[in-house]
């Protein structure tokens, strides 16, 4: 959790820095073309672009992987499970949060020092307008929750009535716009990004743009008072030079130790026409949406919580080792939970650990690792569309046989399966072709002399009355064992079959009969889950006296 929080904060900081650079680079152009108020509005680009990092990431399109994916195994990487490595992110997060706390304390101390410097505040107009005991206490808008306009002790004597009116309008514009609360938000961002010098520079520039926008609003209301407004600026500046102890993190303080010239120059700029202002607003809105979309689209896909019931994966798999065709298996397993397939053949034992995972676009990913004993031979993964066939090959390092995993995967709902089970049990079953009587396969003498082994898959077609209509070789593994084909077909033709049945009635059907020719006799571990008479058992032909 702490690592994820660190990653999110770091990404927000990077995205926010990029957004600040966009505003800093474009603010002078915007001010000349569209006025100071639009520049102040353009700073919305920063929080909007940063906030989209918290939105769910876009879905990533994953191409359909139906072809074979071959990955060379790395013995060093697969020899043992990955060992835990040191993750510095929790420690860095602790340092980050410590800096946030210290910066917040520093800003709170500055705010408290400023408020103490004001002395007792005397209400002038309800609670929103107060007068300080200090000559340096204002004009300013102080506080975020219930901001108040603070005037200096010599406010009436220092300024003319016209200047006082302009100053009060300036501070009330700050109050109406909620600028003190906005500055509190900026201070919070500075605390969160205390290590980033760009945000501290951008915050100072932002507050200048805030004052320029407020100046522009006052001049728009009193266009004939530009000279008096400039005089009021000079008097405020000369009477209240800012000092270190008078910084105001949460509020809007008029005196400034710099940029007074820039504020006075801005007073000469006329207000843009309505059409120009609308064009500028459209430009800023478009840039904000474009930057926000770019930040959103650049995110890496992340897992999203699902309101659906937990799903499981039905995997129909077959693992072939070299030229040996494996037996199909069907496994229903929860998503992200590993399962094993093993072969205890004493001549070549192996086991496979597999995990099916849901990925983007509704597809499934299968990760597999092949082991012989405790030694890992290789690993591979494949992304497949549910219900569609896939194949993935694993080049077992040190094992010349090689492994291939084929099959299909699909999501299944345990609740739906439980509801469907009683209905399925009540329906008449469809039974495939089975054998009624058979003769053991005979090893061809020529193949025995040449010591040829292999497996022959014989395709049979049986009529509704059980008569064998056709028997032919479907395929031979390996291809070099073609000499075994005639013997396998001849053996199957001597068998008698039971027809397939549907709804209790005999029907014509087809089956695939595997016959294995082995010089070493039947395997020690004969399949135990095959019902007697089923044609998907492996019928083994061996030399007489073997086994």
In the chain, what are the domain boundaries?
A: 1-59+275-299, 90-268, 312-424, 430-541
Ramachandran category for residue 36: left, alpha or beta (phi over 0 → left; psi -120 to 50 → alpha): alpha
**Contact call for residues 212 and 220 (beta carbons, < 8 A):** no
- Residue 309, C-beta contacts closer than 8 angstroms, at least 6 positions apart: 413, 414, 415
**Contact call for residues 121 and 134 (beta carbons, < 8 A):** no
What is the side-by-side strand order in the sheet with 140-142? 122-125, 129-131, 148-151, 140-142, 251-253
**Contact call for residues 217 and 152 (beta carbons, < 8 A):** no
Tokens of 36: 């100071």
pLDDT (0 to 100) of residue 393? 83
pLDDT (0 to 100) of residue 189? 94
- Residue 282, C-beta contacts closer than 8 angstroms, at least 6 positions apart: none
Domain spanning 430-541, CATH class: alpha beta
Nearest Cα residue to 38 out of 273, 318, 251, 337: 273
Q: What DSSP state is assigned to residue 193? A: T
pLDDT (0 to 100) of residue 532? 37
Which residues share a beta bridge with 379? 369
pLDDT (0 to 100) of residue 174? 93
Q: What DSSP state is assigned to residue 229? A: H
Q: What DSSP state is assigned to residue 530? A: S
Strand pairing category for 350-358 and 390-395: unpaired
Triad 233, 236, 240: Cα angle to 5°:
145
Tokens of 94: 């602790």
Taking the CB of residue 347, how many other CB atoms lie within 10 A of it?
7
Distance CA 422, CA 436 (A): 31
Beta strands in 55-156 (DSSP E): 69-72, 122-125, 129-131, 140-142, 148-151
Distance CA 270, CA 516 (A): 95
399 by DSSP, 3-state: which?
coil
Strand pairing category for 148-151 and 251-253: unpaired
Output the tens digit of pLDDT for each of the chain's 547 residues.
677 888 888 999 999 999 999 999 999 999 999 999 999 999 999 999 999 888 887 655 444 333 333 333 333 333 344 444 577 888 998 999 999 999 999 999 999 988 888 888 888 876 689 988 887 767 889 988 889 999 988 888 888 999 999 999 999 999 999 999 999 999 999 999 999 999 999 999 999 999 999 999 999 999 999 999 988 888 887 765 545 445 788 888 876 656 778 888 888 888 889 899 999 999 999 999 999 999 888 876 554 444 445 578 888 888 888 777 777 878 888 888 888 888 777 677 888 888 998 887 788 888 888 888 778 888 888 888 888 888 888 866 656 567 888 889 888 876 665 555 454 444 445 566 676 666 667 788 888 888 888 888 888 888 888 888 899 988 888 888 888 888 888 888 888 788 887 777 888 888 888 888 887 655 433 333 333 345 555 566 666 554 4
What sign results for the dihedral spanned by CA atoms 467, 473, 474, 478?
Answer: positive
pLDDT (0 to 100) of residue 526? 37
Judge residue 506's burial from the number of C-beta atoms within 10 Å of its C-beta, 0-12 exposed, 13-18 middle, 19 or more buried: middle
To which H or E segment does residue 167 belong? helix 161-177
**Contact call for residues 225 and 114 (beta carbons, < 8 A):** no
Taking the CB of residue 401, how many other CB atoms lie within 10 A of it?
13
Whole-model pTM: value is: 0.54
């Amino acid at each position: 959790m702490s690592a994820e929080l660190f990653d999110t904060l770091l990404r927000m900081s990077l995205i926010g820095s990029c957004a600040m650079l966009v505003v800093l680079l474009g603010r002078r152009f915007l001010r000349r073309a569209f006025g100071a108020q639009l520049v102040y509005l353009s700073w919305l680009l920063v929080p909007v672009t940063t906030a989209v990092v918290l939105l769910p990431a876009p879905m990533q399109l994953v191409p359909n992987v139906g072809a074979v994916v071959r990955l060379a195994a790395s013995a060093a990487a697969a020899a043992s499970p990955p060992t835990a490595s040191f993750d510095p992110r929790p420690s860095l997060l602790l340092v980050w949060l410590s800096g946030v706390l210290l910066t917040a304390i520093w800003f709170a101390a500055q705010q408290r020092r400023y408020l103490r410097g004001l002395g007792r505040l005397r209400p002038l107009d309800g609670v929103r307008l107060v007068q300080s005991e200090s000559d340096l206490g204002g004009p300013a808008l102080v506080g975020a929750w219930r901001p108040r306009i603070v005037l200096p002790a010599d406010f009436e004597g220092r300024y003319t009535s016209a200047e006082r009116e302009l100053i009060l309008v300036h501070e009330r514009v700050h109050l109406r716009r909620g600028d003190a609360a906005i500055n509190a938000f900026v201070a919070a961002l500075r605390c969160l990004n205390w290590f980033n010098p760009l945000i501290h520079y951008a915050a100072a520039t932002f507050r200048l743009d805030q004052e320029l926008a407020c100046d522009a609003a006052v001049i728009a209301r009193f266009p004939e008072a530009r000279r008096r407004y400039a005089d009021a600026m000079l008097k405020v500046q000369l009477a209240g030079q800012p000092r270190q102890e008078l910084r105001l993190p949460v509020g809007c303080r008029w005196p400034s130790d710099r940029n007074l010239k820039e504020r006075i120059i801005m007073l000469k700029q006329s207000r843009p026409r309505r059409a120009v202002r609308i064009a500028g607003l459209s430009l800023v809105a478009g840039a904000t949406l474009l930057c926000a979309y770019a930040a959103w689209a650049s995110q890496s896909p992340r897992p999203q919580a699902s309101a659906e019931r937990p799903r499981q994966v039905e995997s129909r798999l077959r693992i072939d080792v070299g030229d040996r065709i494996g037996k199909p298996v069907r496994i229903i397993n929860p998503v992200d939970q590993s399962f094993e397939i093993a072969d205890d053949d004493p001549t070549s034992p192996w086991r496979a650990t597999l995990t099916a995972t849901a990925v983007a676009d509704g597809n499934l990913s299968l990760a597999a690792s092949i082991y012989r004993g405790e030694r890992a031979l290789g690993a591979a993964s494949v992304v497949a569309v549910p219900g569609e066939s896939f194949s993935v090959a694993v080049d077992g390092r040190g094992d010349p046989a090689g492994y291939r995993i084929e099959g299909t995967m699909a999501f299944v709902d345990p609740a739906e399966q439980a509801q469907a089970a009683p209905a399925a049990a009540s329906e008449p079953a469809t039974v495939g072709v089975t054998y009624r009587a058979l003769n053991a396969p005979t090893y061809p003498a020529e193949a025995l002399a040449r010591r040829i082994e292999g497996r022959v898959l014989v395709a049979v077609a049986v009529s509704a009355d059980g008569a064998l209509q056709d028997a032919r070789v479907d395929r031979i593994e390996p291809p070099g064992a073609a000499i075994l084909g005639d013997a396998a077909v001849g053996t199957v033709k001597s068998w008698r079959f039971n027809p397939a049945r549907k709804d209790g009635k005999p029907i014509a059907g087809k089956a695939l009969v595997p016959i294995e020719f082995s010089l070493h006799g039947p395997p020690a571990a004969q399949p135990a889950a095959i019902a007697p008479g089923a044609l998907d058992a492996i019928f083994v032909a061996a030399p007489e006296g073997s086994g």
